[in-house]
């Protein structure tokens, strides 16, 4: 797994790390049961503080993307609670769609964009 951090980004490093792991899961580069590097190993590899990696892993655990075991470390464990996931997506989409409406983005353009993104993930649902 290759993690690339943009140190010039306004986005917090732990958020970038979380998002890249989530994208890895969505694109099947990371599978259920795959181990993530240890906090120390990832921090050294990427060149960031161990506390930053620990924060990202903890938040990924809270969101149901990983489990953390003292012996095995962080393991990909996708939460299957679909209702919770849909509610979270709705909250995130409300603002994104409002911004799009303010910029005259049409419903069909939004649908096309969603189809394009889903095609990247090769979701069979």
Do 32 and 52 sit in the same domain of this protein?
A: yes
Residue 6 belongs to some domain of the structure: no
3-state secondary structure the chain: CCCCCCCCCCCCHHHHHHHHHHHHHHCCCCCCCCECCCHHHHHHHHCCCHHHHHHHHHHHHHCCCEEEECCCEEEECCCCCHHHHHHHHHHHHHHHHHHHHHCCCCHHHHHHHHHHHHHHHCCCC
Do 65 and 22 sit in the same domain of this protein?
A: yes
Please tell me the predicted confidence (pLDDT) of residue 80.
63
Q: Say if CB 60 and CB 74 are below 8 A apart.
A: yes
The number of distinct structural domains making up the chain is: 2
- 88-125 pLDDT tens trace: 889 999 999 999 999 999 999 999 999 998 888 865 54
Distance from the first to the final alpha carbon of the chain? 26
Please tell me the predicted confidence (pLDDT) of residue 40.
95
**CATH code, domain carrying 38:** 1.10.10.10
- Domain limits at 98? 82-121
Residue 5 belongs to some domain of the structure: no
Residue 107 belongs to some domain of the structure: yes
50-62 vs 39-46: helix crossing angle, rounded to 10: 120
Band of residue 2 on the pLDDT scale cut at 50, 70, 90: confident
Do 19 and 68 sit in the same domain of this protein?
A: yes
- 51-92 pLDDT tens trace: 999 999 999 999 889 999 888 899 998 876 777 788 888 999
Do 25 and 61 sit in the same domain of this protein?
A: yes
Residue 4 belongs to some domain of the structure: no
């Amino acid at each position: 797994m290759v993690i690339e951090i943009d140190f010039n980004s306004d986005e917090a490093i732990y958020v970038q790390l979380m998002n890249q792991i989530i994208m890895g899961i969505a694109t099947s580069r990371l599978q259920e049961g795959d181990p993530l590097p240890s906090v120390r190993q990832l921090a050294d590899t990427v060149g960031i503080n161990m506390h930053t990696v620990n924060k990202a892993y903890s938040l990924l655990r809270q969101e149901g993307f990983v489990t953390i075991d003292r012996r095995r470390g962080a393991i990909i464990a996708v939460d299957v609670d679909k209702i919770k996931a849909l509610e979270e997506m709705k909250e995130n989409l409300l603002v994104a769609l409002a911004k799009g409406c303010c910029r005259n983005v049409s419903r069909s353009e939004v649908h096309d964009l969603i189809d394009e993104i889903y095609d990247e993930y090769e979701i069979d649902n």
